[in-house]
């Protein structure tokens, strides 16, 4: 994965702008805190549907990211299937980088 993406995720985490884990991510979407949701490439179909449907309902961008092990390590955690970014500028920059690396939005 690109060092830019890893670095931005690490920066966002140390700034307290990352919510990690499925339930916490969905709650961040519901509460209006999430500005971007990143789904791991290897997330299951049920999780992918649950998260993308919730993002669509609340008009939150959702993009595909690296595999769960890499996504988790990028934010200093164990394997993570999804994370939410809660800061607008970081979210926009990460979205641009992730879409260039992994493809289109709304995973």
Q: pLDDT for 76-103, tens place per residue?
A: 999 999 999 999 999 999 999 999 888 7
b/e map 64-97, b = 16+ CB within 10 Å: bbbebebbbbbbeeeebbbbbbbbeebbebbbeb
- Select the more confidently predicted residue: 13 or 107: 13
Domains and CATH numbers, the chain: 3-102 (3.30.1330.30)
pLDDT tens, residue by residue, 12-54 = 999 999 999 999 999 999 999 999 999 999 999 999 999 999 9
pLDDT tens, residue by residue, 49-71 = 999 999 999 999 999 999 999 99
Give the per-residue pLDDT at 103: 74
């Amino acid at each position: 994965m690109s060092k830019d993406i890893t670095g931005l995720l690490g920066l966002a985490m140390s700034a307290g702008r990352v919510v990690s884990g499925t339930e916490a991510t969905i709650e961040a979407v519901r509460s209006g805190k999430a500005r971007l949701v990143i789904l791991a490439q290897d997330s299951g179909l049920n999780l992918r549907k649950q998260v993308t449907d919730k993002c669509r309902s609340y008009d939150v961008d959702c993009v595909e990211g690296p595999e769960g092990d890499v996504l988790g390590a990028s934010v200093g955690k164990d394997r993570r299937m999804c994370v939410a970014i809660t800061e607008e500028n970081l979210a926009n920059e990460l979205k641009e980088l992730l879409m260039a690396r992994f493809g289109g939005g709304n995973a």
